[in-house]
Amino acid sequence: MDVLSVTSEIYPLVKTGGLADVAGALPGALAAHDFAMRSLVPGYPQVMAALKKGRVVAGFDDLFGGPAQLIAARVQGLDLIVIDAPHLYDRAGGIYVDDTAKDWADNWARYAALSWVAAELAKGLVDGYRPRIIHAHDWQAAMAAAYVAFGGDTETRVVVTIHNIAFQGQYKADIFPMLRLPPAAFHMTGVEYYGGVGFLKGGLRCAHAITTVSPTYALEIQTPQFGMGLEGLLVERASDLHGILNGIDAEEWNPQTDTALAANYGAANTGKRGLNKLALAERFGLEINGGPLFGLVSRLTWQKGIDIVAANVDWLVSLGGRLAVLGSGDPMLEAAMAEAAGRYPGRVGFIRAYDEKLSHLMQGGSDVMLVPSRFEPCGLTQLYGLRYGAVPLVSRVGGLADTVIDANEAAVDAGVATGIQFIPVDGPALGEAIRRTITLYDRPDVWARMQRKGMKTDVSWEKSAGRYAALYNTLLGIE
């Protein structure tokens, strides 16, 4: 059965965050359930460069402002349909933002085009290929549901997955006439949102099913605190809303074979992590010996709670900890991290970069993986942490709540703890969690047990791929 995944990023070709990892891993995971997933992606420069052999399967004289072609290709194990539309995607800078970090002014056209093409494919645009299911990720693809609802093939079923409800794709009403939707779509039951156009809103309204990436986030987004204005709609659609946890690509992220590590290891010989810890300390200019090493790999944004980490640096260092931070983002948060590193040479290190390879070493060498997010739909870094024996210290929200078992006394006694959780998401609560973490670290038996328990936790795609497959089958009327 054919499923068309529609995504604005996909690992290993183009990645700004967890969405890419998920979009890159899901097709492989679904193959085991007899779903053939192709991915429709924009032809950004890095995607076009990766296309060696491709087949032109369709062409458009005018795809939202210029000519375009669809190219089918198999790249790095992924079946892709690439939209080669230079006027939309061929430009230097970020995929969503220009060099000054401002959203591209024509993002509405860039992602309306992505969504529109998906609906056309489901209508049979390409001979011999007619996906029955469109699986659209985030606001950039969500409009596929609207294109199907207002003029698509009536048998197509659309699943919209929310990876982060903070990003919604909201525009002024004046773009509506250019969207290729009938006037009726500019309505509460369509894409209209507070007098403008809401891409995610329209998608959520029109989708046959909605998923998000953890059960807890599925509940949270039905509340004003986390719903970012869409909570009412989601409450209405609660019976069509499913929380399905992300998995990780267990081959890409395997400490036993990972070539980015200084030393490979498994749950039976975690002692070898020491070599990775050494390598990591060197990379960050940290003292070689001296207490637990806290690692942070993240976009530096408000969502990720980076400010409350900055507020706890003195405390962490005073308790004997070291901190290694890899990330970039908000200039104020970057400055706070740089300042902390300057203040505590040898104890705090900051590398302002996006470095895939180093992110693996962080997992293989840190004692603790810090994830103090204010909200976190699923989160992947804590899952990598579990798999690599970097014990996650997380806030109890979203997918973090669902994937880490807090080391309270009962859990420690039962031997089921895999990490440390804290709530509320503020400086004092994180400070207390850091203290608790260091106390646990100072009990080597307890710590080792927690590490091993985490490493044995199933964080693969197996279970969740089965849930997506079951959802697709239900939508297709197959029991």
The torsion angles phi and psi of 420, rounded to 5 degrees, stand at: -125, 135
Query: What is the C-alpha to C-alpha distance for residues 306 and 336, in angstroms, rounded to an integer?
Result: 9
Q: Which does residue 213 bind out of ligand GLC, ligand ADP, none, counting CB within 5 to 8 angstroms by kind? A: ligand GLC
Radius of gyration of the chain (CA): 23
Q: Which does residue 329 bind out of ligand GLC, ligand ADP, none, counting CB within 5 to 8 angstroms by kind? A: none
Under the binding rule (CB under 6 A), the answer on residue 380 touching ligand ADP is yes
Query: What is the C-alpha to C-alpha distance for residues 223 and 210, in angstroms, rounded to an integer?
Result: 16
Under the binding rule (CB under 6 A), the answer on residue 280 touching ligand ADP is no
Q: Which does residue 355 bind out of ligand GLC, ligand ADP, none, counting CB within 5 to 8 angstroms by kind? A: ligand ADP
Under the binding rule (CB under 6 A), the answer on residue 329 touching ligand ADP is no
Under the binding rule (CB under 6 A), the answer on residue 381 touching ligand ADP is yes
Strands 293-300 and 241-243: unpaired
Under the binding rule (CB under 6 A), the answer on residue 119 touching ligand ADP is no
Listed ranges 13-21, 151-159, 272-280, 423-431: which one lies at the site for ligand ADP (CB under 6 A): 13-21
Buried b (16+ CB within 10 A) or exposed e, 249-268: beeebebeebeebbbbbebe
Under the binding rule (CB under 6 A), the answer on residue 339 touching ligand ADP is no
Q: Is residue 318 exposed (0-12), middle (13-18) or buried (19+ Cβ within 10 Å)?
A: exposed
Q: Residue 38: beta bridge partners?
A: 4
Contact positions with ligand ADP (CB under 6 A) in 308-327: 326-327
- Chosen residue from 156, 298, 366, 418 binding ligand ADP by CB under 6 A: 298
The torsion angles phi and psi of 146, rounded to 5 degrees, stand at: -70, -40
Angle at 11 between CA 459 and CA 45, to 5 degrees: 170
Under the binding rule (CB under 6 A), the answer on residue 21 touching ligand ADP is yes
- Chosen residue from 364, 379, 385, 419 binding ligand ADP by CB under 6 A: 379
Closest separation between CB of residue 422 and ligand ADP, Å? Answer: 18
Contact positions with ligand ADP (CB under 6 A) in 173-192: none
Listed ranges 2-10, 283-291, 297-305, 387-395: which one lies at the site for ligand ADP (CB under 6 A): 297-305
Closest separation between CB of residue 295 and ligand GLC, Å? Answer: 17
Number of residues lying near ligand ADP (CB under 6 A): 18
Residue 289's contacts (CB-CB under 8 Å, 6 or more residues apart) are none
Under the binding rule (CB under 6 A), the answer on residue 354 touching ligand ADP is yes
Listed ranges 15-23, 69-77, 87-95, 403-411: which one lies at the site for ligand ADP (CB under 6 A): 15-23
The encoded tokens of residue 34 equal 């007899």
Closest separation between CB of residue 28 and ligand ADP, Å? Answer: 16
Residue (19 or 146) nearer to ligand GLC, CB: 19
Residues that bind ligand GLC (CB under 6 A): 17-19, 22, 163-164, 213, 246, 376-380, 399
Listed ranges 113-121, 131-139, 151-159, 352-360: which one lies at the site for ligand ADP (CB under 6 A): 352-360
| Sheet hosting strand 391-395, strand order edge to edge | 348-351, 322-329, 293-300, 368-371, 391-395, 420-422
Residue (85 or 333) nearer to ligand GLC, CB: 333
Cα–Cα nearest to 397, from 423, 419, 420, 418: 423
Nearest residue to ligand GLC, by Cβ distance, number only: 18
Under the binding rule (CB under 6 A), the answer on residue 25 touching ligand ADP is no
Q: Which does residue 359 bind out of ligand GLC, ligand ADP, none, counting CB within 5 to 8 angstroms by kind? A: ligand ADP
The contact mask relative to ligand ADP for 60-79 (x = CB under 6 A, - = no) is --------------------
Residue (192 or 402) nearer to ligand GLC, CB: 402
Q: Which string of DSSP letters, residue by residue, matches 145-211? A: HHHHHTTS-TT-EEEEEES-TT---EE-GGGGGGS---GGGSSTTTTEETTEEEHHHHHHHH-SEEE
Cα–Cα nearest to 29, from 209, 249, 245: 249
Strands 68-75 and 55-60: antiparallel
Using an 8 Å Cβ cutoff, are 378 and 166 in contact?
no
Residue (17 or 290) nearer to ligand GLC, CB: 17
Q: Is residue 422 exposed (0-12), middle (13-18) or buried (19+ Cβ within 10 Å)?
A: buried
Listed ranges 25-33, 61-69, 106-114, 379-387: which one lies at the site for ligand ADP (CB under 6 A): 379-387
Residue (136 or 293) nearer to ligand GLC, CB: 136
The encoded tokens of residue 449 equal 């047990």
Q: Which does residue 119 bind out of ligand ADP, ligand GLC, none, counting CB within 5 to 8 angstroms by kind? A: none
Residue 451's contacts (CB-CB under 8 Å, 6 or more residues apart) are 267, 270, 389, 391
Residue (204 or 380) nearer to ligand ADP, CB: 380
